[in-house]
Structure 1
Amino acid sequence: MPTLKHTHRFSLHLSNDDRPPSARPSNEPLNPTILRPWRHLRRLLLFLAILGQSQAQGQNLQATPDPVDFGAIRPGESARESVRLTNSGSDRVEVHVETSGPFAAAKGTLFVDANAHTDLELTFNAGDPGTYDGALELAMPKLFGSDKLHVTLTARVETPVLLVNPVRVAFNDVVVGATSALSVELANPTDVGIVIDALRVEPADASFRLEEDRGGELAAGAKRHLTVTFAPDSGGPHTGHIRVRSVHLPDGSVTIGLQGSGLAPELATSPLPQVGFRLGPHDVGTTSQRYLTLLNQGLADLSISSIRTIGGGLSVSDSSLSIAPGEREDITLSYAPRYEGPLQGQIVLLTDDPQRGEVVIPVSGSAQVGPPLVEILNRSTIHFGAVPLGRLARQQVLLWNRGGSPFTAQLELEGGVHPEFELETGAALLQPGESVKVEILFRPKEIGDRRVGLSVQTETGTHRFELTGTGKFLQLSPTTYDFDRVPVGESVSAVIDLANIGNSDFTISRLQSTSDDFTLYTQASQDNKFLLPANSLRTLPLNVTFAPSTRGLSSGTMRIEGFWEEGTETLEMLLNGTGVAAEIELHPSGPLDMGYVVLGEVETRSIVATNTGDTALRVAANSLTQEVRLEPDAFALQPGESTTLKLHFSPDALGERFAQILLVSNDVHDKAQPIKVRGIGALETIDLTQITRVMASRKTPPEPTSASWNNTPLVLLDETKVDISFTIPDSLRQALIGRRIDIEWVQLDENYDPKGSARQATVHIYEDAEGHVLAEDLNLRLTEDGNKRVRMRLTTRSYPDAPPQTISQIFEAGGWKFEFEAKPLVSFLTIRPGRDYTDKDGNRVKGETERLIGLPGIAFAGWHNAENPSISGVHLTATGNVLEALSTNNAIAVSLGVAVSLYKDRLLFGFGYDIYDSRPRAKRKGTQDYIFTFKYSALF
């Protein structure tokens, strides 16, 4: 920022006088010869000063910025910048503007005011790329020439370039219906921006798409990524390109090549859809098969999502297929007509072949009705084998109609209904080409071989079959065993002889009891098997023990596992037994709450005990503490018998107490059943007034004071200390030991309302207390100026949380007392009786009675009770005649006397006699030497 500034100062003194100016008289004129050249020199100096000032003002101009850089622009565009001209001088400056090169200024001449600034706009225009330099010349004319400022101007013109990576986008092979995506990068490496006018894929019907085809500006040095997708709709190669259009590009656009290959399946069928299947004539009920060949001639997997047939009797072996490229699949087409008539059917294939999504192959033929032909697919003898008695065995008769007409076959057992063989149905309808299974049931009821004939009637006549089977059975004895009644806790054993009364041998491999109450001591295992022959030829002795754990019926099962001719078998024997025992039931059954019981007393409750068991009950009571006992402490009950028990509770201490009695018995459930007892030990209710003593002391040993404890104020002298003690007589000792007494006192105001917080103390009476117990730390002293009125409350409880027993008393400081006092008095009426006297001339002068008000006085000693509402005391007083002193030049009279106070020491009536009188003599002669006063003491 160029700045030019000059400062010129001139000082000149010319004279031909050798004297200094201070030595020359001020009124002495200068020599004219000397003054003439001085005038010319002064004019020259004034001109030079004006010239220097103009030049200095012109050099105060500043230009910012310097140099001015227009940056980079595209060819054919223009750029604008501004220069700020600042005038820091005190005069307005005229500026002439000139530019060089392809730069232009908006103004040729402008003015900049003093201490102000203005902006000059510059324009740059150039069409060819390159770097341009110029200058801005600012001239400020002055008297001789002008001052100039030089500002450098620079600018660049750059052709936009758009780089594409890659220049050709090549997709891998993509299956038709799928989509592949790739990214293309557009980059602007120049210092000027490029505005992209349009992005599109050409041709418009190509299989390529741009996810974002909007234009916009690509800033200098910026990059942009385009996502291109390829979704071929047909197989084979696909090409296209992306055209990026911009007016800023030299050619107007940039082309990005696109290429890809689509993979598609191609279906070929044999026979061709134009030919189809010709099945010819078929009998109803018969089935014929043909094969449909499917070939994939494409480059992708062929998916056939649906294969279905249209037309009665047609069916295919597959409903969907997937065929790899170059592979083939054969599908079986079956035709089984059920009704006569022509067939015009179709096989419909739904595929993902883009050229052949649906393929229809015609199927033609006809069906005719033929005669029925029933075949029986069984041998002449149907064997059921050996079946245990009572069990069910099944066999089937299989009938097949090979003919073309329906037929109903008849089935019948010889002799009609058979007790051991049974037909599921007596008739079976056979449609052409169908088969039917008819079940035959065999349930033997007798042992040995069983036979019966079966007749089947078909279109060719009657066919006879023989049904054979053998009846076998397996049964063990006994199936149940009862142990009868057994006491709980005891056991009884029995030997059970197990026999096989069936007609098949049975080998026992395992014996197991399912109940813990029944224990089996006879063992059998895989290594120790026991053969139990048929027809009870030999028995197996089983040693079983029954030990019931609870009362009532117990049941269990003995599982007998083994095998016989028909395989493995599991048989069961039911074991029963009844457990009997004694059982005690108490009413009430829960814990007994004895409530509050006074120490030394006994609380009794009744309990009913019942034997609800099956045997005799024997009980012994065992108390765990001395506070509770049961009466009787031992008893016996027969089944169903009850008795009443007495439970006695006597607490040994205060508070909550817990005790327990164990009923030791032969009870089946609890051999030592507890009876829980809860109670609360309490003290006997007492009268606090009987044991409470009030002790008062005032500079003397404490002495008992009578207190009514009815809140009537007890008046004690000022400074009296109050103590509380409690008497412990032998008659109440049981009710007092362990008791807690709370003492609380609070100050009262004149209206006997509490004020301030309460003070508390606690007294505990222990076992070692004798005679009296003093309440320590009570710290109560009555004072008229402090604890004047106090309410004391005593509280105790016979047991925790019991209702409180409370007494209270009010103590008050006061009463009659003698004390020295300094109580100011003011008389509202003072009478000094007059008296007659004889003057010096012998004349009788009548005295005048004085009635004065407002005389000051003082009561300095007295015997009084300030709280007494009537006569409250007698006082020694002094009274001064101050008003007389004010009117008689310090003449004063002072009287001493006695006064009686009334209404709590507020009003005093008294008599006084003068002890000092300085009044004038005439005044003294005319009045008596004593006075009567009515005084008031509450003014101060």
Structure 2
Amino acid sequence: MFYRHSGELVALFLCPRSSIHWFSLHLSNDDRPPSARPSNEPLNPTILRPWRHLRPLLLFLAILGQSQAQGQGQNLQATPDPVDFGAIRPGESARESVRLTNSGSDRVEVHVETSGPFAAATGTLFVDANADTDLELTFNAGDPGTYDGALDLAMPKLFGSDKLHVTLTARVETPVLLVNPVRVAFNDVVVGATSALSVELANPTDVGIVIDALRVEPTDASFRLEEDGGGELAAGAKRHLTVTFAPDSGGPHTGHIRVSSVHLPDGSVTIGLQGSGLAPELATSPLPQVGFRLGPHDVGTTSQRYLTLLNQGLADLSISSIHTIGGGLSVSDSSLSIAAGEREDITLSYAPRYEGPLQGQIVLLTDDPQRGEVVIPVSGSAQVGPPLVEILNRSTIHFGAVPLGRLARQQVLLWNRGGSPFTAQLELEGGVHPEFELETGAALLQPGESVKVEILFRPKEIGDRRVGLSVQTETGTHRFELTGTGKFLQLSPTTYDFDRVPVGESVSAVIDLANIGNSDFTISRLQSTSDDFTLYTQASQDNKFLLPANSLRTLPLNVTFAPSTRGLSSGTMRIEGFWEEGTETLEMLLNGTGVAAEIELHPSGPLDMGYVVLGEVETRSIIATNTGDTALRVAANSLTQEVRLEPDAFALQPGESTTLKVHFSPDALGERFAQILLVSNDVHDKAQPIKVRGIGALETIDLTQITRVMASRKTPPEPTSASWNNTPLVLLDETKVDISFIIPDSLRQALIGRRIDIEWVQLDENYDPKGSARQATVHIYEDAEGHVLAEDLNLRLTEDGNKRVRMRLTTRSYPDAPPQTISQIFEAGGWKFEFEAKPLVSFLTIRPGRDYTNKDGNRVKGETERLIGLPGIAFAGWHNAENPSISGAHLTATGNVLEALSTTNAIAVSLGVAVSLYKDRLLFGFGYDIYDSRPRAKRKGTQDYIFTFKYSALF
């Protein structure tokens, strides 16, 4: 037993007789006392001197030190170990605590030391018996990176101290803030409208980022943030911000969002903003600075001018009010809407009623942000002129067909365009007429005014009636002819409109058919000429219906309108019957408009997603437009889980479009087909399909990384290193070769579902293929764990069979994909021990002679024999038959069999050892005779040993 004390090694020897001998091994090359030597000076053993006087004391100290070493070091434990401070930002500090547990019965003094950028709260602490205490640790570093350190706890004892080592790890990571998109681009927005887009803030690091402020710059820009967005963004978290754009003027608008944070390297990041405002711009002709000059006009006359309004902006122009200020002025429109780039003409009429100058205005109230109110001046003058009467009737005034005894009215319209009053005279030819009557015979016309004079017609007889009318004006007499019919047959209504009806639906109406004529009408047949209008009221020769005159009774007709296509549908209802004058066929016009929603997709054909790696998502965009004339409501229904539509439900007004995103993620390899049904109120297809085609593919892998070659030869399979570069891999004869594929977690997604084809073929000596190839297939399924063994490979290397084999492994990431192929050559051979039983022929055998004593007692000198063609056999050896130099060592047997056949059947056999050369074909060795039955004289002293040179290639 040895103890070190003050630079000396004290040895305690326990002798067999129970006596104790103490020695002090002085560890120094000089005679200085131990206290005078430095503690770090190398200890060099010199002499061993007895030290018998301090034997009891040293024995006590040794036992005491032994007990302390066994107690403190085992009783103090630190948890956790190792201590991971996690990730912090540069310049910040992190705190962790280590719990020290003393399971012993004595109080322990602990000295604390740390390394690296780690610090402890104290350098020394005490842990009471059967108690624990927490030691606070601090980590602080300014540069990014991974930091490793150690916490060393030393428990002093009588001789030295016990140490406890705890590993400390921490990381410093610079915060990174990712923005998507880095520039927000708004579409064109009409002035007064608002558009909103989303911006994503992402923290991909393991440390949080405190966002101090988010603001839009410049502050007077047309962009605004809807949320505060400040506060801490946790590690790996994302935050979405909504940015709105409400332009107050036309043209491009730019700005940016500044995201400020003290944790970012540059203090802030910016997100670009851009958009374009669309505003109307009104231009007038004439210009407001010019206005209208109407010149002098006669009172009572009317003149017209045209005010041209042009919208030179990019948005629709709305003119909410158009009015005039000034007597005699009027405009044709009180409000107007002008599309961008279009123009409209407004008629300005001037009809003065009084004499004098005109100072008027045309006032336009618009939504042009630059010109909300436009005032166009109008100037002119009015003067009194002579009367000018116009008769606004045609030369023939028709009263139409009037029932007998009924009264019909018509009017003669007289207009004084002149500037002075005038009285017009009216008179029927022949004086008073029994069926025509004038309301008045004279009419006073003021300047600019018009007068209506009524003419009454009450027929008394059936047939046409006519009379002349004379009107006297300032220009002379004007003659008009009054005509009317005293008898008629007419049904009402003559037309019926079903208004707008959705295609595929139907609307029924009851039409009350009345005879407003003065003669009864009997209906014998009702017929609709259009398939869109169905008549449910029947009339026939056996089922007639009488319509009395003067609408005394009506016939309710039940008609259903079911439009088959969009647009205006027209048809006629033929009403056949007879009255006093004979048979008559009347028609009622039926109108209706078929309306429907109609969805149009662009592109319209199937979506080809191409090759998509399993687990990834490929997205395509399509445009959906409502080309119909009613609101379109659509709900998407995916028939498989591999495809989905975003959004899955939407509505479009007529002419409105939206962008749809089709997401495709294949569940299996190969060609995949999916459909999304757009269930809607479309007129043609209530469930219009979106066909999606894609090819599921696996991620490209390196076969050499996952392929393992297992070799076994009467032993369990063991991995064998293969370079897969077609350099022959030599294995022992009778070695069984197996292939397995490792499935690491990092490549599991790329391997599951993969097919690997294994093919091996025999090679000749020139490494050219011979024979047919053998194949095996490996499928890696979802339940595969760890590795997958290629079954039914059945490859065993043998020198007399599968001596050389080329193995090829092929896989594809998806069907019809370019193959990934690796290959390796395996060859049977190498050094081995085996029982060969290989026949030999000796080219030359030398039997050295040895002297012997004959039967007469005379000593005879032995003769050396040189023999050719002795047969033999190599029955065992350790060799490599493919080695071109020294091929191995063999145990051989050689005999004079041919000589025995020609003599007395005496045979000699020798056993020996031979070294083979050049692929085991040439052997050179020596042997010793173990049997020789020839006569002594024949043997001539050669019975002891032989040297042979043999050739075995012929066998």
TM-score bin (small chain): 0.3 to 0.5
Whole-angstrom CA distance in 2 between matches of 1:636 and 1:267: 34
Tell me by how many angstroms 1:88 deviates.
Answer: 152
Q: Could you say if the C-alpha distance between residues 101 and 404 of structure 1 is closer, same or farther in structure 2, counting changes exceeding 3 Å?
A: same
Structure 1 residues 428 and 115, CA, compared in 2 at 3 Å: closer, same or farther? farther
Shift of 1:933: 2.7
Shift of 1:167: 133
Give the CA deviation at 1:558.
0.6
| Inter-partner Cα distance in structure 1 for 2:657 and 2:190 | 97
Structure 1 residue 696 displacement after superposition:
1.6
TM-superposed deviation, 1:621: 2.3
Farther-moved stretch of structure 1 (413-422 vs 883-892): 413-422
Structure 1 residue 592, shift from structure 2 partner:
3.1
Bigger Cα displacement from structure 2, 578-587 vs 278-287: 278-287
* Bigger mean CA deviation after superposition, 525-534 or 757-766: 525-534
Cα pair 1:8 1:52 within 8 Å, conserved: no
**696-705 or 274-283, which deviates more:** 274-283
Q: Is the 8 A contact 1:58 1:142 kept in 2?
A: no
- How far off its partner does 1:581 sit? 2.1
Cα deviation 1:806-832 (Å, max 9, x = unaligned): 433333322111112211111223345
> What per-residue deviation string (whole Å, max 9, x for no partner) do you get for residues 821-854 of structure 1?
2111112233456789999999999987654321
Q: Is the 8 A contact 1:556 1:575 kept in 2?
A: yes
Q: Greater shift after overlay, 201-210 or 820-829?
A: 201-210
- Corresponding residue SS for 2:705: helix
Percent identity between the two aligned chains = 98
What's the offset of the Cα at 1:728?
Answer: 1.4
Q: 1:205: how far off?
A: 140
**Cα distance, 1:864 vs structure 2:** 0.4
Conserved 8 A contact 1:888-1:919: no
Q: Does 1:670 align with 2:694?
A: no
TM-score (norm 2): 0.45
Q: Distance in 1 between matches of 2:45 and 2:625?
A: 165
536-545 or 609-618, which moves further after superposition? 536-545
Whether the 8 Å contact between 2:218 and 2:256 is mirrored in structure 1 is: yes
Do the aligned residues in 2 keep the contact of 1:54 with 1:142 (CA within 8 Å)?
no
Structure-1 separation of matches of 2:376 and 2:583: 60
Q: Is the 8 A contact 1:14 1:38 kept in 2?
A: no
Residue 493 to residue 276, structure 1, CA distance change in 2 (3 Å): closer
Residue of structure 1 equivalent to 2:6 = none
Partner residue of 2:896?
Answer: 881
Instruction: Please say which structure displays the higher CA radius of gyration.
Output: 1
- State the partner residue of 1:563: 578
| Pair 758,429 (structure 1): closer, same or farther in 2 beyond 3 Å | farther
- Please give the alpha-carbon distance, in whole angstroms, between the structure 2 residues aligned to 1:26 and 1:715: 60
> Could you tell me which residue of structure 2 aligns to residue 300 of structure 1?
315
Cα deviation code 1:441-482 (max 9, x no counterpart): 999999969999999999999999999999999776776555
Which 10-residue stretch deviates more, 159-168 or 278-287? Answer: 159-168
CA distance change for structure 1 residues 419 and 665 in 2, over 3 Å: closer, same or farther? farther
C-alpha displacement of 1:600? 0.7
Aligned to 1:184: 199
1:41 to 1:357, Cα distance in 2 relative to 1, 3 A: same
> Aligned partners of 1:389, 1:190: CA distance in 2, in Å?
100
| Offset, 1:680 | 3.8
Q: Does 1:775 align with 2:796?
A: no
Tell me if the contact between 1:654 and 1:683 (Cα under 8 Å) persists in the aligned partners. yes
Q: Kindly tell me: are residues 731 and 475 of structure 1, through their superposed partners in 2, closer, same or farther at Cα, counting changes over 3 Å?
A: same
Is the CA contact (8 Å cut-off) linking 1:134 and 1:154 kept in structure 2?
A: yes
C-alpha distance 264-505 of structure 1, shift in aligned 2 (>3 A): closer
Distance 1:782 1:197 in 2: 72
Q: 1:678 Cα shift?
A: 3.6
* 1:233 paired residue among 242, 248, 258: 248
Q: CA contact under 8 A between 1:58 and 1:93: conserved in structure 2?
A: no
Is 1:175 aligned to 2:190, yes or no?
A: yes
Task: Indicate how the Cα distance of structure 1 residues 125 and 891 shifts in structure 2: closer, same or farther if over 3 A, else same.
Answer: closer
Deviation at 1:910, TM superposition (A): 2.2
Shift in Å, 1:776: 3.2
Whole-Å separation in 2 of the counterparts to 1:820 and 1:150: 60
The C-alpha deviation readout for 1:702-735, integer Å capped at 9, x for no partner, is 1111223334332222222222222111112222
Q: Identify the range of structure 1 (693-702 vs 11-20) with the bigger mean alpha-carbon deviation.
A: 11-20
Mean CA deviation greater in 262-271 or 397-406: 262-271
Alignment deviations for residues 328-373 of structure 1 (CA, whole Å, 9 cap, x no partner): 9999999999999999999999999999999999999999999999
Task: Check 1:154–1:366 CA distance in 2 against 1; reply closer, same or farther (3 A cut).
Answer: same
Give the counterpart of 1:588 among 590, 599, 603: 603
| Preserved contact between residue 15 and residue 34 of structure 1 (Cα < 8 Å) | no
Contact 1:16 1:34 in 2 (8 A): no
Q: Secondary structure at the match of 2:47?
A: helix
Q: Does 1:54 align with 2:96?
A: no
SS in 2 for 1:725: strand
Q: Choose the corresponding residue for 1:114, options 129, 151, 161.
A: 129
1:907 matched residue in structure 2:
922
Q: Which residue of 2 aligns with 1:23?
A: 36
Measured in 2, the distance between the counterparts of 1:181 and 1:644 equals 16
Question: What 5-or-longer segments of structure 1 have no aligned partner?
Answer: none
- State whether residues 200 and 243 of structure 1, in contact with CA within 8 Å, keep that contact through their aligned partners in structure 2: yes
Kindly indicate whether the alpha-carbon contact (under 8 Å) linking 1:582 and 1:615 is maintained by their aligned counterparts in 2. Answer: yes
> What SS does structure 1 have at the residue aligned with 2:834?
strand
Structure 2 CA distance, aligned partners of 1:47 and 1:178?
A: 98
Deviation string 1:476-528 (CA, Å, 9 cap, x unpaired) is: 67765555544445666778786779897642233332334335577655577
Q: 1:820–1:374: structure 2 CA closer, same or farther, 3 Å change rule?
A: closer
Q: Deviations over 1:855-912 (max 9, x none)?
A: 2122122110112233211112223345665677556554433222122211212233
TM-score normalised per structure 1:
0.45
CA distance in 2, matches of 1:154, 1:815: 51
Going from structure 1 to structure 2, the CA distance change for 1:446 and 1:757 (only over 3 Å counts) comes to: farther
Cα distance in 1 between the residues matched to 2:267 and 2:612: 116
Q: How many residues in Structure 1 have an aligned counterpart in Structure 2? A: 936
Contact 1:600/1:650, CA 8 A, preserved across alignment: yes
CA distance in 2 between partners of 1:7 and 1:322 (Å): 124
Inter-CA distance 534–842: structure 2 relative to 1 (3 Å threshold):
same
Question: Which piece of structure 1 moves more, 651-660 or 343-352?
Answer: 343-352
Tell whether the 8 Å contact from 2:108 to 2:155 is kept in structure 1 after alignment.
yes
2:863·2:940 contact (CA, 8 Å) conserved in 1? no
- Compute the displacement of 1:580 (Å): 2.2
Identify if the C-alpha distance between structure 1 residues 88 and 407 changes in structure 2 by more than 3 Å, giving closer, same or farther.
farther
Shift in Å at residue 772 of structure 1? 2.0
CA RMSD of aligned residues (A): 34.6
CA shift, 1:103, in A, is 166
User: After the TM superposition, which of the residue ranges 871-880 and 614-623 deviates more from structure 2?
Assistant: 614-623
Indicate the SS of the match to 1:798: coil
CA deviations over 1:603-632 (Å, ceiling 9, x no partner): 212212121112333333233433211122
1:935 Cα shift?
A: 1.4
Residue 328 (structure 1) aligns with: 343
Q: CA deviation at 1:652?
A: 2.5
* Aligned-residue offset at 1:165: 127
Secondary structure of the structure 2 residue equivalent to 1:138: strand
Please give the residue correspondences for 1:387-466 in structure 2 after superposition, counting only pairs within 5 Å: none
Distance 1:158 1:730 in 2: 27
Does structure 2 conserve the Cα–Cα contact (< 8 Å) formed by 1:382 and 1:467? Answer: yes
Question: Which string of whole-angstrom CA distances, capped at 9 and with x for unpartnered residues, describes residues 371-394 of structure 1?
Answer: 999999999999999999999999
Judge conservation of contact 1:59–1:147 (CA < 8 Å) in 2: no
Asked if the contact 2:25/2:46 (under 8 Å) is kept, the reply is no
* Cα contact 1:654–1:681 (8 A) shared by 2: yes
Partner Cα separation in structure 2 for residue 516 and residue 253 of structure 1? 72
Q: CA deviation at 1:179?
A: 114
Q: Which deviates further from its counterpart, 775-784 or 924-933? A: 924-933
Distance 1:309 1:379, change over 3 A: closer
Asked if the contact 2:299–2:383 (Cα under 8 Å) also holds between the matched residues in 1, the reply is: yes
CA distance in 1, matches of 2:325, 2:620: 97
Task: Give the distance between the partners of 1:259 and 1:631, measured in 2 at CA.
Answer: 26
Work out whether residues 839 and 872 of structure 2, in 8 Å CA contact, stay in contact via their aligned partners in 1: yes
Q: CA deviation at 1:937?
A: 0.7
Provide closer, same or farther for how the CA distance between residues 369 and 792 of structure 1 changes in structure 2, counting only shifts above 3 A: closer
- Whole-angstrom CA distance in 2 between matches of 1:601 and 1:133: 38
For 2:327 and 2:872, locate their aligned partners in 1 and report how far apart those are by CA, in whole Å.
Answer: 148
C-alpha contact 1:484 1:578 (8 A) present in aligned 2:
yes
